[in-house]
Structure 1
């Protein structure tokens, strides 16, 4: 049995890109993610690369290439998404949205206070992955 610390998330989503190295650099610039692990594929092969990005010290997301026929970026399948990534922020959601917009994110839904107590916005990255960012305002 593997010992896991209480800081390891139970679930870690993975997103796949045609150009993972460029995507990771964009995710840093647009969303403020921090690279916590970077493994480039052998000989610079981006298909076999693996990156992990930290999110405010409270979670992580993995990013990599399209390493087999069942793992694709939305850019490879006419923009189709089969999952989205939800990120809980702890400060200034509106400023985060503006940072993402300035970096070229397509803002799919502007920041809105939701009836369940969160302020939320949604964005698409350059390859079409959908991201939801939320900040808890109050208990519903």
Structure 2
């Protein structure tokens, strides 16, 4: 049976670690249109935990090297890929370009009816932005 959220919080949240979490937050908000929901620092000024919103989704992130199980398990894990549904793919792409994001693939119509493009963040994670609606029939 599928789980649903009655609190308005997403059931699945990608979680990433960054060598420079502050730079990641700047890029995700400025180039890709996320909004800061929460940013918590540890005693050393590193990002202990951050939550960035886009639509009804949230991505969580933090700084590498803080210790703890998640940080240890993610060490050397390589880049991740995240898909984000956007309303206007071309406008979203223009914003990303204007803010200097590395575009991996230009906006294109896909054979399954969606339109999307891909960008790489400052630390190599691949972000796909498109109008595909996962789970829709």
In which range does the TM-score fall when normalised by the shorter chain? 0.7 to 0.9
Q: Distance in 2 between matches of 1:80 and 1:8?
A: 27
Q: Distance in 2 between matches of 1:22 and 1:117?
A: 34
SS of 2:74's partner is coil
Per-residue deviation, 1:6: 4.8
Q: Which residue is equivalent to 2:98?
A: 102
Q: Which residue is equivalent to 1:65?
A: 63
Q: Which residue is equivalent to 1:25?
A: 26
Structure 2: stretches of 5+ with no match in the other structure: none
Give the TM-score normalised by the residue count of structure 1. Answer: 0.80
SS of 2:12's partner is coil
Q: Distance in 1 between matches of 2:44 and 2:17?
A: 19
CA RMSD of superposed structures (Å): 2.2
Q: Distance in 1 between matches of 2:72 and 2:12?
A: 23
Q: Does 1:129 align with 2:125?
A: yes
Q: Does 1:8 align with 2:9?
A: yes
Q: Which residue is equivalent to 1:52?
A: 51
Per-residue deviation, 1:26: 1.6
Structure 1: stretches of 5+ with no match in the other structure: none
Q: Does 1:34 align with 2:32?
A: no
Q: Does 1:84 align with 2:85?
A: no
Q: Distance in 1 between matches of 2:41 and 2:102?
A: 28
Q: Distance in 2 between matches of 1:55 and 1:38?
A: 15
Count of equivalent residues: 126
